[in-house]
Amino acid sequence: FCHMLLKDHNLTTRQPFHQLLQKKPSLPSAVWHRAVRGMFIQTQDTPNPNSLKFIPGREVLESRTMEFSTPAAAYCSPLARQLFRIEGVKSVFFGPDFITITKESEDLDWNLLKPDIYATIMDFFASGLPVVTDEAPRTDTAASEEDDEVVLMIKELLDTRIR
């Protein structure tokens, strides 16, 4: 399979493999993702047409959610920082087993963004780096000492059910 894909490519170039994939559109993307790293990333639509849920089939965050609305907010997540490097990514949201990406505008085509997002997610999980570091930012739904029991329950519902 790989021999067939690379027969027309000079193997001495130092071009990233995900760029090779973009040059060979004849095979379905699901075949490519399985062949490259043994990882199959599914996508799922969201109610927001500018957001798309990516399900890598692996745990993203153990039991919480995190939202990164700007690249500066992503200082504690190597994965979010890499995703923000993709032109057109507006925000990143991590759930227990998914990553939701929001694009900057409806004018951007998901078919142009998805290959870079797939490659970034696959490369990241292949690296073995943690999704977030110990320097986790404080979010408005994080529990604090001043919160009473009702407020804690509401924050937990926001994190687990709403987001």
What domains appear along the chain, each with residue ranges and CATH number? 42-130 (3.30.1370.70)
Tokens in use for 128?
Answer: 């073995």
Give the model's pLDDT for residue 75: 87
Give the model's pLDDT for residue 133: 84
Q: How far is C-alpha 78 from the chain's CA centre?
A: 11
Give the model's pLDDT for residue 156: 75
Give the model's pLDDT for residue 31: 40
The Cα–Cα gap between 101 and 121 comes to 11
Give the number of residues written for the chain: 163
CB 121 within 8 A of CB 41: yes
Give the model's pLDDT for residue 154: 81
Burial class (CB in 10 A: 0-12, 13-18, 19+), 101: buried
Query: 3-state class of 51 per DSSP?
Result: strand
The Cα–Cα gap between 46 and 93 comes to 12
Give the model's pLDDT for residue 33: 42
Per-residue pLDDT in tens (0 to 9) along the chain, 163 residues: 343 344 444 444 444 544 444 444 444 444 444 434 468 899 999 999 999 999 999 999 987 899 999 998 888 999 999 999 999 999 999 999 999 999 999 999 999 999 999 999 999 999 988 998 875 445 566 666 677 888 777 877 776 666 5
Tokens in use for 49?
Answer: 């047409």
Residues with Cβ within 8 Å of residue 59, at least 6 apart in sequence: 96, 97
The dihedral over CA atoms of 142, 146, 150, 152, expressed in degrees to the nearest 10, equals 20
CB 92 within 8 A of CB 40: no
Give the model's pLDDT for residue 63: 79
Predicted TM-score (pTM) of the model is 0.61
The pair phi, psi for residue 147, each rounded to 5°, is: -75, 135
